[in-house]
Structures are given as structure tokens and as C-alpha cells.
Amino acid sequence: MRDISWSKKEKEIARRAFGNAYQKECTALVMRSKKMLDSINDPRDIWKIHDMLTESREEIDLKYDYRYSVLISVFARLLRESWLTETDFAGLREDKLESIKALSEII
């Protein structure tokens, strides 16, 4: 997987898909935070929201790794978690698509 090559066009598709997934996760986090904030009864529960954001940030920072050497497995995970769909990968070489799909089943 490490020596897989990415054409210029594929890099554009990858960059866009990566950015879209990141945007979607952040949007979901905004919604989750709003929901938590709206249902706060005890103001001290603000720290539960902080804890949730800290945990999410660590997870997202680790997950969104745009090195081409690991991008197939990053995309496989994003596919499995439904942040991306197969249509987001339209235009990638067939072997890459197959690797992403296969890996998403076992990751």
C-alpha cells in the first residue's frame, strides 16, 4: 500500500473527499454540542461537553492523516463510518477503489 501512486487528478479527488468528510464530522460535532448544551440542567455539565470535544478532537486529529502512504486505510475507515460513500471516490483507479472497499469491511 505504501508505494501506491496517485495521479494529479486522483489527488484532487482524494483531497476533496478528505475535506468533505472532515467538514461533515465537524458539522456533526457542532450539532452534537448544540444538543448537549440545550439539554444542560446543571451548568457544571459544561465540562462534559468539554470532555466530549477533547476526546473527539484527539480522535479526529489521529484519523485525518493525509499522507498518501496511509490514505487508502484512512478512506476505508471514513467509508465504514459513513462519512464518505463510494461516489466520493468516483474517478480513482479501480484497484484503489477495491482496496478501500475491501479494507472498509475488515478495518
Least separation in angstroms between residue 16's CB and a copy of itself is 16
40 in contact with a copy of itself (CB under 8 A): yes
What angle, 0 to 180 degrees and rounded to 10, lies between the N-to-C axes of helices 8-38 and 71-80?
Answer: 40
Residue from 9, 11, 16, 57 binding a copy of itself (CB under 8 A): 57
Which CA distances in Å does 33 have to 30, 59, 75, 101? 5, 16, 25, 31
Q: How many CB atoms lie within 10 A of CB 74?
A: 23
97 in contact with a copy of itself (CB under 8 A): no
Residue from 53, 63, 68, 93 binding a copy of itself (CB under 8 A): 53
Residue from 47, 59, 65, 107 binding a copy of itself (CB under 8 A): 47
Residue from 1, 37, 70, 102 binding a copy of itself (CB under 8 A): 37
50 in contact with a copy of itself (CB under 8 A): yes
Which CA distances in Å does 12 have to 5, 36, 88? 13, 36, 11
CA separation for the pair 80, 85 (Å, rounded): 9
Only one of the segments 10-18, 27-35, 86-94, 98-106 lies at the binding site for a copy of itself (rule: CB under 8 A); that segment is 27-35
